[in-house]
């Protein structure tokens, strides 16, 4: 790992193109890591890449080897070409296939959240494709104070519970609620449910 770091520093000094790529890579790795709520230590454990190396990558202080990038892409469940993509002055249009969409799974294993939001906005705006089996539940901790979540039901029936208050929504209806306290989303119908979930972090709401 140490030799990877040393050679990386040398390449950055000699190759401005590599430095640009490393800068984009660092931003991408950091945003993906935060999207999964992973600490540096947790990503290091899952990827096999040293915590110090990941930190240097995120701060654009090293130009990692392809093997290191591959290990990080596997741990972050994203294709390596997306990790390496440069954003410099290219026409922006991006297509993400279902297999390339990172998936979060509820503790009961019966509700899946496809991360369809743009990774650039993950620190303040997140949105998910929710697919749920009947009777499944997603039990979430509180987000940052002032955060708001919206659940728009496309199929089936869902309910949201916060601090003992419960509200139900069917296809074509939406629920908006403060998510800066523990909350539970349940699929309560007899058929599978699908919904679009949008989370606005640190939003301005009434106290």
Does the CA dihedral 28-31-37-39 come out positive or negative? positive
90 versus 171: the higher-pLDDT residue is 171
For residue 194, the model assigns a pLDDT of: 98
Mean pLDDT of 177-199: 95
Reading the block at residue 81, the tokens are 């070409």
pLDDT digits (tens, 9 = 90+) for 82-110: 666 655 445 556 677 777 788 889 999 99
Report residue 79: phi and psi, to 5°. Answer: -65, 150
Q: How far is CA 11 from CA 7, 17, 160, 204, in A?
A: 6, 10, 52, 45
Dist CA 20 CA 28 (whole Å): 13
Q: Write the pLDDT tens digit of every residue in 6-24.
A: 334 333 333 333 333 445 7
Q: For residue 167, what are the β-bridge partners?
A: 160
pLDDT tens digits, 104-137: 899 999 999 998 887 667 778 889 999 999 999 9
DSSP 8-state class, residue 169? E
pTM: 0.58
Look at residue 40 in the predicted model and tell me its pLDDT.
92
Instruction: Please say whether the beta carbons of 25 and 80 come within 8 A.
Output: no
What is residue 204's predicted lDDT score, i.e. its pLDDT?
46
Listed in sequence order, the residues at least 6 apart from 157 whose beta carbon sits closer than 8 Å to its beta carbon are 168, 169, 170, 171, 187, 188, 189, 193
């Amino acid at each position: 790992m140490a030799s990877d770091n040393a050679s990386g520093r040398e390449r950055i000094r000699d190759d401005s193109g590599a430095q640009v790529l490393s800068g984009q890579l660092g931003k991408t790795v950091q945003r993906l890591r935060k999207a999964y709520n992973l600490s540096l230590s947790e990503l290091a454990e899952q990827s096999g890449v040293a915590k110090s190396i990941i930190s240097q990558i995120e701060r654009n202080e090293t130009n990692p080897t392809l093997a290191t990038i591959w290990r990080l892409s596997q741990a972050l469940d994203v294709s390596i070409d997306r990790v390496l993509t440069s954003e410099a002055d290219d026409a922006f249009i991006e297509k993400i296939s279902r297999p390339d969409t990172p998936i979060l799974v509820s503790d009961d294993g019966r509700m899946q959240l496809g991360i369809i939001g743009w990774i650039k906005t993950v620190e303040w705006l997140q949105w998910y494709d929710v697919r749920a089996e009947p009777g499944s539940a997603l039990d979430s901790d509180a987000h940052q104070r002032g955060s708001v979540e919206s659940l728009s039901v496309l199929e089936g029936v869902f309910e949201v519970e916060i601090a003992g208050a419960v509200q139900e929504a069917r296809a074509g209806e939406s629920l908006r609620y403060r998510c800066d306290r523990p909350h539970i989303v349940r699929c309560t119908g007899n058929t599978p449910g699908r919904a679009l979930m949008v989370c606005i972090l640190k939003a301005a709401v009434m106290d």
